[in-house]
Amino acid sequence: MSEQAIVLKFGGSVLRSRESLASVAAEIERFNAKGLRVIAVVSALEGTTDELLSQARSVQDEPEESALALLLATGEFTSAALLSLTLASRGVRAPVLGPHAIGLRTKGAGADTNPASVDAWTLTRALDASRVVVVPGFVGVGPSREHTLLGRGGSDLSALFIASQLGARCRLVKDVAGLYERDPASPGPTPRRYRTLSWGDALALDGRIVQHKAVRFAQRERLAFEVGAFGRDDASHVGATGATWHADEPEVACA
């Protein structure tokens, strides 16, 4: 690739509805304008996974894992396709590459497995042909080529794993400006926003913000990543450096 690549992960906190796809597309265009090619890893639209899980449990109390994985994966595939269409409507070519296309293999089957490999060559070729590629997060390919899942919040792990295999920068895009020492919406003194924090610091935070399994993967691989908001270059940088703080006020909600 002649240009550097960045993996941008968009989760349910920013994929609240179909209308929010325009904001996601604008953020991708913002990084394109910086001379970066973008792999956009997306979660399902907010609430979709819970709705699909409820549907499955209305049919079977303990849903069979392979069928459940296939059902839940439709949420990520839908948001990926809608984002691709949104970008196309803005003149940006952005093909969707699912887990079979990029060879995102997992170490086992089921709904809470771990990534084993990805076809970096295919992703690189796709970015050579198009400056944006959209990848459904959360979903992998099992030993029998069945759909598997990376655990709840697994799109974080998808993004970090792909970034590690490509040697790319990784940014998890949230609806607030980074990671805080505690929920800014909770009562009490104003919490500080991290400028830098260690992987261990990140593991001490609520796992709903960044999947703990993804943070542990990053820690093992010594992979730095960042957490930030739409339209802002500042962020919280997670890596080997200890805690330092931004000198600002928190947002009113927590990602």
Helices (H) and strands (E) in the chain, counts: 7, 12
| Residue 255: predicted pLDDT | 34
Q: What are phi and psi of 27, to 5 degrees?
A: -65, -40
Q: Which two three-digit tokens encode residue 34?
A: 């910086």
pLDDT above 90 as % of the chain: 87
Tell me if 200 sits within 8 A of 187, measured CB to CB.
Answer: no
> How far apart, in Å, are the Cα atoms of 140 and each of 66, 150, 152, 213?
12, 7, 13, 15
Residue range 90-112: average pLDDT?
Answer: 97
> How far apart, in Å, are the Cα atoms of 224 and each of 31, 174, 219, 241?
19, 17, 8, 10
Whether 59 shows a pLDDT value over 90: the answer reads yes
| Residue 252: predicted pLDDT | 39
| Residue 254: predicted pLDDT | 36
> Which residue is associated with the tokens 């996601």?
24
Residue range 87-100: average pLDDT?
Answer: 98
Tell me if 96 sits within 8 A of 134, measured CB to CB.
Answer: yes
Whether 107 shows a pLDDT value over 90: the answer reads yes
Using the CB atoms, write b or e for 136-157: b if 16+ within 10 Å.
Answer: bbbbbbbeeebbbbbbbbbbbb
Tell me if 39 sits within 8 A of 1, measured CB to CB.
Answer: no
Instruction: Say which CATH superfamily domain 1-174 falls into.
Output: Acetylglutamate kinase-like (3.40.1160.10)
Whether 52 shows a pLDDT value over 80: the answer reads yes
Tell me if 225 sits within 8 A of 218, measured CB to CB.
Answer: yes
How many angstroms separate the CA atoms of 225 and 221, rounded?
11
Q: How confident is the model at residue 248 (pLDDT cuts 50, 70, 90)?
A: low
Q: Which helix (H) or strand (E) holds 195?
A: strand 193-198
- Give me the residue spans of the domains in the chain: 1-174, 177-255
Q: How confident is the model at residue 157 (pLDDT cuts 50, 70, 90)?
A: very high
Q: Which two three-digit tokens encode residue 166?
A: 């490509």
pLDDT above 70 as % of the chain: 96
